[in-house]
Structure 1
């Protein structure tokens, strides 16, 4: 292809299968968080929405025109995003390196791969007419299972602290990080993309702090019922003084996070090995001298 439009089209479509999956995945994740945030904003202003989790957003989409088809496409996109996160973590496609910070980011990407693969399964089950539990119920089940194990209380506490740490990381990135460092943007586009990204990361940071706090409390009291997902975080905000305002701000931030995901789908630099090269990429990581 030639010309600006041709280059743009190529960048969006991707150069290989994994890159295309990644871009499709950023789209799907962005769409989910846009819906999550919009529903929570409507709830905050009393316009009939519900401040729920990602599964609730998928159920909302399911009720719309062509709902099962759209949710099915979202499921495929979320699995594509999970595949990209796995590739990032294992092959170091983003050149994070093996420093403690780099390994921490890659480890977080590995966890993210599992989370979005699970959310993709939820979306697929809804598209096929099956019902799965909400995020909060699933978290409570896993917490109850883990608390019943030897040293389970310690494990749950460490997980909660890890989620809190992720929230701190999001807030630091929102305040001081270069949120557009991996985006191919000119100055004009960066001028509006950067504040969208910062607002989105700040909102996710606040949500992670609250969710992680719930998990730590569950460990302290050895009660899995204390664990809440994103819907619980929204409810906790709503219960505070000026709760409607707080919920509206954080909900709008989730819309911004979703919108930033759509920006990433379009402009992110993705240097991914193609599927037929993935084995070699993994081998280079496992056996550096190979």
Structure 2
């Protein structure tokens, strides 16, 4: 359920980004826009509750993996697995909070929240380091996603499907989806670094601002269209991952 919830989110963000690439400037291409779209669909509220439960469950499962890692490999491998599981637990816990906010009738503005937080941090010289580390961390994570997709290392996380055609489809979706997610994270990380270097918090407008800013560049709409399709394919991959993940 957690992987499906994450897949739904990426699928909707990709769909909204595709509409922006087609010329609809009113769309919000971030988690806020995705959940607003989802809540307006028939049965959308029930699906948001299901996504909340799924993300919370996956956060708890990853927390368990961080506390009680598998006995495979040496001590260094176990600590590496613990760190990865802990990071994923934080990510899915944050997603559960976002889904929970909408499930209970609340709303949030991702772009506004990001700019506001950045502005507050810029008011303290020591906190500028946090922003620089955040931007650098996003760039590093972007590289991780690109390399994992290009080298197809994600196959190690999956069981083989009984039908070779399904197996090839899952591999193709991951090969396209991972690098696309990496490019989106790279754009977001660069915006964080630029906003810190120029002392302009408006530059760090979150995922929605990053994608809409890309659309405003020369040939940006075409590039955004490609990223949008890639994000949608990554969303489908995450849904299939829920079936074939090695647990």
Give the TM-score band, short-chain normalised: 0.7 to 0.9
Partner of 1:259: 236
Match of 1:152 among 127, 130, 141: 127
Single out whichever of 227-236 and 243-252 deviates more from structure 2.
227-236
After TM superposition, the structure 1 = structure 2 runs for residues 112-261 of structure 1, keeping only pairs within 5 Å, are 112-131=88-107, 133-186=108-161, 187-261=164-238
5+ long unaligned stretches in structure 1: 1-23, 271-290
Alpha-carbon distance in 2 for matches of 1:128, 1:111: 26
How far residue 93 of structure 1 moved from its aligned partner, in angstroms, is 4.5
CA shift in 2, pair 1:92/1:224, >3 Å: farther
5+ long unaligned stretches in structure 2: none
Number of corresponding residues: 245
Structure number with larger C-alpha Rg: 1
- Per-residue CA deviations over 1:88-110 (Å, capped at 9, x if unaligned) read 3343359586548963x754543
TM-score norm. by structure 2 comes to 0.87
Alpha-carbon distance in 2 for matches of 1:49, 1:193: 33
CA shift in 2, pair 1:166/1:156, >3 Å: same
RMSD over equivalenced CA pairs, Å:
2.5
How far residue 134 of structure 1 moved from its aligned partner, in angstroms, is 2.5
- Per-residue CA deviations over 1:168-208 (Å, capped at 9, x if unaligned) read 11111111132222211243322111110111111110011
The 3-state SS of whatever aligns with 1:42 is helix
TM-score norm. by structure 1 comes to 0.75
How far residue 30 of structure 1 moved from its aligned partner, in angstroms, is 0.8
How far residue 114 of structure 1 moved from its aligned partner, in angstroms, is 2.5
Single out whichever of 200-209 and 169-178 deviates more from structure 2.
169-178
How far residue 42 of structure 1 moved from its aligned partner, in angstroms, is 2.7
